[in-house]
Chains A and B, each alone.
Chain A
């Protein structure tokens, strides 16, 4: 079974440029998460989708970050314009929505460097 797929794995851009990250969750997983992981820190949730609905985007900096999951499968996270402080690893995870806490499965992440 394929895991969570993310692309690109690495991205280097100059500040003020736009950037986009793509995630394809595990087949059948209707919940999708985007996390931000700064160096030496644990992941922090940016947004959570259940199917195509964003059910928790309270931590997403909406002035420059946006996300979409139009068909309830794969998802795109965008930053426009990027700032130096956005340099981090962006992780995508997926799980099956259920009554009890379900295990989240993580992709390898996209490592962003903003120069």
Chain B
């Protein structure tokens, strides 16, 4: 079965600074990769996903992630964060069976 490791439980960063949230996965088969964001007292919202094709995927609010098969990683990046980006971010992996496994999450705190 597949699994996900999010290497940082908390990432504090100042507003307008760049940020990288790290995600590594383990799987014996081809996978699909996802980043979800969870704001306080809300459900998870899909941020971006990699299914196939270009290894660099982007969200509408400036986040991007790159699928790196050789390093089994799918790190999330943003060149300049805003206060409103403060949230919990979950990396998830799925094989072709809807069995999605989530990481433990990274709490991003953007400070003014």
Instruction: Confirm or deny: B100 has a beta carbon within 8 angstroms of a beta carbon on chain A.
Output: yes
Interface string of B75-112 (1 = CB under 8 A from A): 00000000000000010101010111011110000000
Collect the chain A residues with CB atoms within 8 Å of residue B102's CB: 42-44
Within 8 A of B (CB), among A82-109: 91, 93, 95, 97, 100-109
Instruction: Confirm or deny: A28 has a beta carbon within 8 angstroms of a beta carbon on chain B.
Output: no
Instruction: Confirm or deny: B54 has a beta carbon within 8 angstroms of a beta carbon on chain A.
Output: no
Number of interface residues of B (CB under 8 A): 24
Determine whether the beta carbon of A31 is less than 8 Å from that of B98.
yes
Number of interface residues of A (CB under 8 A): 24
Determine whether the beta carbon of A100 is less than 8 Å from that of B104.
no
Within 8 A of A (CB), among B2-53: 4, 9, 32, 34, 36, 41-46, 49, 51
Interface residues of B (CB under 8 A from A): 4, 9, 32, 34, 36, 41-46, 49, 51, 90, 92, 94, 96, 98-100, 102-105
